């Protein structure tokens, strides 16, 4: 089960948000929640919201498909922060000038997925005769045929012997 959540135009620069997203990428969801909860970065609060939304989306998708879902097994499969539109503002400067201010925004996307459950395959039952034959194999088998020498290989060996 895979689900995603996107938050657009978050009022924080992508550079600052990436520092936090890098901490949770590839982690289990409960572990990611703990990291975000105790992070001192302001971006952690926004990313926590997006992660919470992605988990809720996974639960809803599982419910729609009538499939069981264990939230504790979910992992942050994909987490990325891209730059959003920049808000351009001006502040007053000396001598009647204006100094530009760039208010950066960012887009956060997080995908969570549960690792596929591996089906338990029954152990193959080998007949007793096959096991006995495998034990009685002679150790010194036939050798593999030698490689055919090309003309260039023969010339190289002549030069090396001189």
- Give pLDDT, residue 119: 72
pLDDT per residue over 120-130, tens digit each?
666 666 566 66
pLDDT per residue over 96-137, tens digit each?
999 999 999 999 999 999 988 767 666 666 566 666 666 665
- Give pLDDT, residue 116: 80
Contacts 24+ apart (CB under 8 A), 153-159: none
Handedness of CA 66, 72, 78, 83 (dihedral sign): positive
**Does pLDDT of 62 surpass 60?**
yes
**Does pLDDT of 143 surpass 90?**
no
Q: What is the mean pLDDT of the chain?
A: 87
**Paired strand residues for 109:** 6, 80
- Are 3 and 54 spatial neighbours (Cβ–Cβ below 8 Å)? yes
**Pairing of the two strands 75-83 and 106-113:** antiparallel
Q: What does the block give as tokens for 122?
A: 């029954």
Under DSSP, is residue 154 helix (H, G, I), strand (E, B) or coil?
A: helix
- The whole-angstrom separation of Cα 127 and Cα 67 is 39
- The whole-angstrom separation of Cα 62 and Cα 2 is 9
Look up tokens 């007949």; give the residue.
127
φ, ψ dihedrals at 139, nearest 5°: -75, -40
> Percent of the chain scored above 70 by pLDDT?
75
């Amino acid at each position: 089960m895979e689900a995603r959540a996107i938050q657009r135009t978050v009022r924080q620069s992508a550079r600052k948000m990436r520092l936090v997203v890098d901490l949770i990428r590839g982690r289990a969801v409960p572990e990611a929640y703990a990291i975000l909860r105790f992070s001192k970065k302001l971006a952690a609060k926004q990313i926590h919201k997006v992660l919470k939304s992605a988990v809720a989306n996974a639960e809803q998708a599982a419910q729609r498909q009538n499939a069981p879902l264990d939230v504790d097994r979910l992992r942050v499969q994909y987490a990325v922060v891209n730059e959003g539109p920049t808000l351009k503002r001006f502040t007053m400067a000396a001598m009647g000038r204006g100094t530009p201010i760039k208010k950066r925004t960012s887009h956060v996307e997080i995908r969570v997925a549960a690792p596929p459950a591996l089906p338990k395959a029954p152990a193959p039952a080998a007949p007793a005769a096959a096991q006995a034959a495998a034990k009685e194999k002679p150790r010194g088998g036939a050798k593999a045929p030698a490689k055919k020498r090309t003309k260039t290989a023969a010339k190289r060996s002549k030069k090396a012997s001189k």
